[in-house]
Amino acid sequence: MVYQIKIQGKLDKSWSEWLGSARVTCDFDENGLMITTLTVELADQPALFGILDRIRDMNLLPITVERIDVEK
């Protein structure tokens, strides 16, 4: 399963490996706030909760968590 997790603020790409080899991209939302999008393939729901725990431990604010379909 592939998930996109959006968090408020800018997260450096060097955190990718610590967050499950996530692809890290940064952009601004419609209000001009920096948003980081993590796109990560995870085996199951416990792996997702592990990533969310790490985000919490870093004092980051998650905005959305969305499961996305990826064509294989």
The amino acid present at 13, given as its one-letter code, is K
Instruction: Report DSSP letters for 5-22, one per residue.
Output: EEEES---GGGTGGGTS-
DSSP-derived secondary structure letter, 56: H
* 21/72 Cα distance (integer angstroms): 19
Phi, psi (5° rounding) for residue 47?
Answer: -65, -40
Residues 34-68 pLDDT 10s: 999 999 999 999 999 999 999 999 899 999 999 99
Using a cut of 0.95, tell me whether the model's pTM lies above it. no
The structural domains of the chain, ordered by start, are: 2-68 (3.30.70)
